[in-house]
Structure 1
Amino acid sequence: MADSDSEDDYMKMTFDDAPKDPQHETSLQRAARKRKEGEARSRQKSKAECEAEAELVREASLATALPETNKGFKMMAKFGFKQGDTLGKSETAQKEPIQIEIKEGRAGIGVESEKKRKYQEMWDQARREAKRAKEEEGNFFEERRQQQKERKAERDLDNAQRTAERLAEKEAEAENNGGAKEQHLTDINVLWRSRARHQIEHEHDRRLKNELTNSLASRLPTLAQEDNENDNDSKTALGHDVTPFYSTLENELEDEDPELAEFEALPVSERLQKILTFLRETYKYCLYCGHVYEGATMEGCPGVTEEDHD
């Protein structure tokens, strides 16, 4: 058994049957190698490859420290310079050499910085214009919202004035047992007096237009002699009436109304607020609810303004 252990285990035996490389290059291998080297030398490198090789050489040169055998290093060493130190007495000075920036193109020195400055100005101008456009857009939408809000307030004001006028007329008819009482323009409440004035102006314009249409004879030249025996209608028919056709409409409108002018000068929202408050306090009526409440507290109404009813 011992003899068998001392013998080599055939399972662990290795056989090196792989062919070994020849120690000497054959003529075929030499010819192939020379052919490849010749092709590599004869191939003209591209511009990108030349620039890449030059970049590698430059980086390798910059990464290599100045050897102590260099004449320049020996001269600096006489003044106390050591490898890794900064030049001069300042300890915060730059230790690494200034990086080389390869200038590309044929433009003069400073052109790139000028281009960068112009581009920066263009970007700044574009940002300012975009900001201004955004502000103008915001102002435009804000103005549109404000205009829509004012138009809505004007419609609400007209509805409130019409409602107040109708309720006041009903109350006056009830007091006069169904009869209408003629009122002077200044006796009408200033909250809806403008409606009455507009009606009078509209009626004035209508009558004026009718008289302009129906008074052609009064504008014709008077050729016949005046006849005192004819009545006024005959004179007008014959064109003898020289009285101006608009005389019947003179002084029909009231004089200036300072109280109404002062009320109309108020903003629409303030006028609307006044008449809404009047309707609630006098008639217990809410314009936005469209209902007349019984109690003075108007229980169930959310508020005075339209926003309260949203």
Structure 2
Amino acid sequence: MMAKLGFKPGQALGKSQGGGVSDQESNSKSGARAEPLNLVFKEDRGGIGLDSEKKRKFREEAEDAVKKVKQEEGDYRDRVRIERETRRTEAQFHAAQKVAERLDAEAETGDGETIQTKCGKTPTEHVEEESEETTSGSKISQPKVKVKPTLQINILYRGLVREREEKERSIQARHQLQTSLPSSFFPNPRLPGYDDPTLEREDKVALDNNTDISTILEQELDEEDPELDEFNALEPSERLDRIVQYLRETHHYCFWCKFRYETGEMEGCPGVTEEDH
């Protein structure tokens, strides 16, 4: 019946445009549908357009999931990079602390002062011994040590000194515990001593009650240091900048050149920052 009405397979319904144009070209230009609509039988009670809405939401969720994964990958890379830079800056600051402590110790001992900031194992220690003749002809050496309080140490490397003293205190605590145990492995156990709690630290040193330097430093470590806490709260880069500037201004030392210049002009140094070098 459709053929009798003039319909041909692949041709759209309606009057075709003339002018020698083929059926397919005329259909594409006019936008006519060349295929009939397919019948879709609904098997549920969903309304018209519900499936399309579900597909749209599903596509949006899938796109959001892909974007989230890409964003998390970028955030992870940034976080790893920042952590790596922070660790590197902390290591540089730790090295600069050692340099500043050593240079300050050299400057102080060069002026004739005797400084000690740790239990017998610091670069700032300088011991003067006096020899006295005894009746038997032997010599007794008594070291004179000036202990510098921890709170008077430069804030730039005070944390390094406190960390070193804390390690030394833990080692001494283990040693004292072992030597005080009455055991067959320790035939000479350490006897308990008397410590007057009413005396101040300076009084104990003045009375020479066999006060160990480690005991004095242990009391200092138990004290709070808000200035040090505030300094440690700064960013590692800012702490590094401060100690680098201190080395340049005080000792004419460039941390990046690893060289100590003779004058404050520091001729030959390319700059203050690491990027300048």
TM range (shorter): 0.5 to 0.7
Residue ranges of structure 1 left out of the alignment (5+ in a row): 1-49, 66-95, 219-233
Q: Does 1:133 align with 2:99?
A: no
TM-score by length of structure 2 reads 0.62
The answer (yes or no) to whether the contact 1:201–1:253 under 8 Å persists in 2 is no
Task: Return 262-271 or 175-184, whichever deviates more.
Answer: 175-184
User: What is residue 181 of structure 2 aligned with on the other side?
Assistant: 216
Structure 2 residue runs of 5 or longer lacking an equivalent are 18-29, 115-124, 127-145, 198-211
Offset, 1:307: 2.2
Partner of 1:197 in structure 2?
162
With over 3 angstroms needed to count, the CA separation of the structure-2 counterparts of 1:295 and 1:56, relative to structure 1, is farther
- Do residues 278 (structure 1) and 243 (structure 2) align? no
Q: CA RMSD in A?
A: 3.8
Question: 1:144 pairs with 38, 63, 80, which one?
Answer: 80
Q: Tell me: CA distance 1:55–1:264, structure 2 relative to 1, closer, same or farther (3 Å).
A: farther
Report the TM-score when normalising by structure 1: 0.56
Determine whether 1:260 maps to 2:228. Answer: yes
> Match of 2:268, as an amino acid?
G
| Aligned residue in 2 for 1:169 | 105
By how many angstroms is 1:98 displaced? Answer: 8.4
Contact 1:200/1:253 (<8 A) preserved: no
After TM superposition, give the deviation of residue 145 of structure 1 in Å: 0.9
CA shift for structure 1 position 182: 3.5
Greater share of residues in helix: 1
Identical counterparts, % of pairs:
33
Give 1:88's aligned residue: none
Change (3 A) 1:128 1:61: closer
Note the alpha carbon deviations across 1:68-118, whole angstroms, 9 max, x for none.
Answer: xxxxxxxxxxxxxxxxxxxxxxxxxxxx99868623255239999544433
Determine the C-alpha separation between the residues in 2 that align with 1:98 and 1:118.
Answer: 29
Aligned match of 2:172 in 200, 207, 218? 207
Number of residue pairs the alignment of both structures matches: 207
Contact 1:164–1:192 (CA under 8 A) maintained in structure 2: yes
Note closer, same or farther for the CA distance 1:64–1:186 as it changes in structure 2 (3 Å cut).
Answer: closer
Residues 89 and 240 of structure 2 are in contact (CA less than 8 Å); yes or no, is this contact kept in structure 1?
A: yes
Report the 3-state secondary structure (helix = DSSP H, G, I; strand = E; otherwise coil) of the residue aligned with 2:267: coil
